[in-house]
Structure 1
Amino acid sequence: MCAWDDFTQSATAARRSLAQARSGQIPPFLMLSVPGMSAREHRRCSELWVRDRVAASVPERTRLNFRFDLGVRDKLRVGYLSNDFHDHATAHLLIEALEATDRTRCELHAFSFGGNDHGAMRSRLSGAFEVFHDITASTDSDAASAVHAAAIDILVDLKGFTRGARTGIMMLHPAPVQVNFLGYPGTLGSGICDYIITDPFLTPLAAAADYAESFAYMPHSYQPHGRAALGRLPSRAEAGLPETGFVFCCFNQAYKFTPSVFDLWCRLLAATPDSVLWLLASDQAQGNLRGEALRRGVSPDRLVFAPQIGQSEHLRRLQLADLVLDTAPYGAHTTASDALWAGVPIVTCAGDTLASRVAGSLLHAVGLPELIASDEADYVAVALTLAAEPDLLLAAKARLARNRLTAPLFDAAAYARSLHDLYEQMWNRRRRGAGREPIWAAAAPPGSPRPG
Structure 2
Amino acid sequence: MNPDQLLHSAVNAHRNGRLPEAETQYRQLLSMQPRHADALHLLGILCHQSRRHQEAVSLIERALAITPRNPDFHNNLGLALQACGRIDDAISHFNRGLDISPEDTDLLGNLASACHAAGQLQEAISSYKKLLHINPQDQDTIAALSHALQALGNQQQQHGHYAAAEKAYQEAIAIEPQNAALHYNLGNAQRELGKPAEAAASYQRSIELSPHDADSHNNLGNVLRELRQLEQAMACYQRALELNPALYHAKVHLVHQKQHACDWQDIEKDILQIREWVSTTPQAQISPFAFLAMPETTAAEQKQCAMNWTSNRYAKLMHEPSLVQKGVTRRIGPGNKLRIAYLSGDFRLHPLASLVTEMLELHDRARLEVYAYSYAINDQTPERQRLEQAVDHFVDILPLSMHEAAQNIHADQIDLLVDLTGYTQGSRTGILALRPAPIQAAWLGFPGTMGAPFIDYIISDAFITPPEQAAHYSEQLALLPHAYQPNDRHRPVAAAPSRNEYGLPNNSFVFCCFNQSFKIVPQVFASWMRILQAIPESILWLLECNSIAKANLQQEAQRQGIDPARLVFAQRIPMDQHLARHKLADLFLDTAPYNAHTTASDALWMGLPLVTCSGNTFASRVAGSLLQAVGLNELITRNLTDYEALAIKLANDPVLLGTYKQHLQAPSQTALFDTAGFTREIEALYFKLQALPLLQAS
TM-score band by shorter chain is over 0.9
CA distances 1:370-393 after superposition (whole Å, capped 9, x unpaired):
001121110011000011111111
Contact 1:110 1:129 in 2 (8 A): yes
CA distances 1:229-288 after superposition (whole Å, capped 9, x unpaired):
444211001122122201000000001111111000111111111211111112231111
State the partner residue of 2:523.
Answer: 260
Are 2:543 and 1:273 aligned?
no
State the partner residue of 1:112.
Answer: 374
State the partner residue of 2:278.
Answer: 18
- Matched to 2:509, the amino acid is F
State the partner residue of 2:575.
Answer: 311
Which of the residues 497, 511, 522 maps onto 1:234?
A: 497
Whole-Å Cα distance in 1 between the matches of residues 283 and 629 of structure 2?
38
Whole-Å Cα distance in 1 between the matches of residues 696 and 528 of structure 2?
43
How far residue 416 of structure 1 moved from its aligned partner, in angstroms, is 0.5
CA distances 1:156-201 after superposition (whole Å, capped 9, x unpaired):
1011111111110111110011010000000001312111110010
State the partner residue of 1:243.
Answer: 506
Are 2:542 and 1:282 aligned?
no
Contact 1:226 1:411 in 2 (8 A): no
State the partner residue of 2:469.
Answer: 207
Whole-Å Cα distance in 2 between the matches of residues 36 and 239 of structure 1?
35
Are 2:657 and 1:397 aligned?
no
Are 2:163 and 1:163 aligned?
no
How far residue 83 of structure 1 moved from its aligned partner, in angstroms, is 1.1
SS of 1:273's partner is coil
State the partner residue of 2:332.
Answer: 72
Are 2:395 and 1:138 aligned?
no
Are 2:309 and 1:46 aligned?
no
What's the Cα RMSD here? 1.6
* Structure 1 consecutive aligned stretches of length 4 or more whose deviation exceeds 6 Å: 65-68
SS of 2:578's partner is helix
Q: Do the aligned partners of residues 50 and 276 (structure 1) sit closer, same or farther apart at CA in structure 2, a change above 3 Å counting?
A: same
Q: Do the aligned partners of residues 65 and 202 (structure 1) sit closer, same or farther apart at CA in structure 2, a change above 3 Å counting?
A: closer
Contact 1:79 1:108 in 2 (8 A): yes
- Matched to 1:391, the amino acid is V
Are 2:292 and 1:32 aligned?
yes
The aligned runs of 1:67-106 (5 Å cut-off) are: 70-73=330-333, 74-106=336-368
State the partner residue of 2:563.
Answer: 299
Contact 2:588 2:610 in 1 (8 A): yes
Which of the residues 151, 157, 172 maps onto 2:413?
A: 151
State the partner residue of 1:448.
Answer: none
Which of the residues 396, 414, 422 maps onto 2:677?
A: 414
List alignment gaps of at least 5 residues for structure 1. Answer: 438-452
Whole-Å Cα distance in 1 between the matches of residues 298 and 318 of structure 2?
30
State the partner residue of 1:187.
Answer: 449
Contact 2:524 2:591 in 1 (8 A): yes
Contact 1:293 1:299 in 2 (8 A): yes
Whole-Å Cα distance in 1 between the matches of residues 458 and 579 of structure 2?
29
CA distances 1:417-449 after superposition (whole Å, capped 9, x unpaired):
1011111111112xxx45479xxxxxxxxxxxx
- TM-score of the two chains, using structure 2 as the length reference: 0.60
Contact 2:461 2:481 in 1 (8 A): yes
Contact 1:180 1:193 in 2 (8 A): yes
State the partner residue of 1:4.
Answer: 264
How far residue 151 of structure 1 moved from its aligned partner, in angstroms, is 1.2
- TM-score of the two chains, using structure 1 as the length reference: 0.92
The aligned runs of 1:303-452 (5 Å cut-off) are: 303-402=567-666, 404-429=667-692, 433-435=693-695
State the partner residue of 1:224.
Answer: 486
Q: Do the aligned partners of residues 436 and 315 (structure 1) sit closer, same or farther apart at CA in structure 2, a change above 3 Å counting?
A: farther
How far residue 8 of structure 1 moved from its aligned partner, in angstroms, is 1.8
SS of 1:419's partner is helix
Contact 1:281 1:308 in 2 (8 A): yes
SS of 2:499's partner is coil
SS of 1:276's partner is strand
CA distances 1:38-66 after superposition (whole Å, capped 9, x unpaired):
1111101100111133321134335x567
Whole-Å Cα distance in 1 between the matches of residues 263 and 568 of structure 2?
19
CA distances 1:307-334 after superposition (whole Å, capped 9, x unpaired):
1112111111111110001111111000
Contact 1:155 1:178 in 2 (8 A): yes
Mean alpha-carbon deviation: is it higher for 133-142 or for 72-81? Answer: 72-81
Q: Which has the larger radius of gyration?
A: 2
Whole-Å Cα distance in 2 between the matches of residues 294 and 26 of structure 1?
34
Structure (1 or 2) with the greater helix fraction: 2
Whole-Å Cα distance in 2 between the matches of residues 12 and 434 of structure 1?
37
Mean alpha-carbon deviation: is it higher for 31-40 or for 206-215? Answer: 31-40
State the partner residue of 1:442.
Answer: none
SS of 1:247's partner is strand
Q: Do the aligned partners of residues 398 and 376 (structure 1) sit closer, same or farther apart at CA in structure 2, a change above 3 Å counting?
A: same
Whole-Å Cα distance in 2 between the matches of residues 24 and 331 of structure 1?
27
CA distances 1:201-232 after superposition (whole Å, capped 9, x unpaired):
01100000000111111110000112234442
- Matched to 1:299, the amino acid is D
Contact 1:33 1:328 in 2 (8 A): no
Contact 2:377 2:398 in 1 (8 A): yes
Whole-Å Cα distance in 2 between the matches of residues 5 and 336 of structure 1?
29
Contact 2:503 2:568 in 1 (8 A): yes
Q: Do the aligned partners of residues 83 and 232 (structure 1) sit closer, same or farther apart at CA in structure 2, a change above 3 Å counting?
A: same
SS of 2:432's partner is helix
Whole-Å Cα distance in 2 between the matches of residues 118 and 151 of structure 1?
29
Whole-Å Cα distance in 1 between the matches of residues 598 and 694 of structure 2?
34
Contact 2:456 2:694 in 1 (8 A): no
State the partner residue of 1:447.
Answer: none
SS of 1:203's partner is coil
Contact 2:611 2:643 in 1 (8 A): yes
- Matched to 2:413, the amino acid is A
Contact 2:332 2:338 in 1 (8 A): no
Whole-Å Cα distance in 1 between the matches of residues 284 and 440 of structure 2?
22
Q: Do the aligned partners of residues 194 and 220 (structure 1) sit closer, same or farther apart at CA in structure 2, a change above 3 Å counting?
A: same
Contact 1:193 1:213 in 2 (8 A): yes
Contact 1:66 1:148 in 2 (8 A): no
State the partner residue of 1:445.
Answer: none
Q: Do the aligned partners of residues 24 and 152 (structure 1) sit closer, same or farther apart at CA in structure 2, a change above 3 Å counting?
A: farther
List alignment gaps of at least 5 residues for structure 2. Answer: 1-260
How far residue 299 of structure 1 moved from its aligned partner, in angstroms, is 0.9
Whole-Å Cα distance in 2 between the matches of residues 178 and 24 of structure 1?
27
Q: Do the aligned partners of residues 145 and 375 (structure 1) sit closer, same or farther apart at CA in structure 2, a change above 3 Å counting?
A: same
SS of 1:287's partner is helix
Whole-Å Cα distance in 1 between the matches of residues 557 and 510 of structure 2?
16
Contact 1:17 1:25 in 2 (8 A): no
Whole-Å Cα distance in 2 between the matches of residues 305 and 324 of structure 1?
14
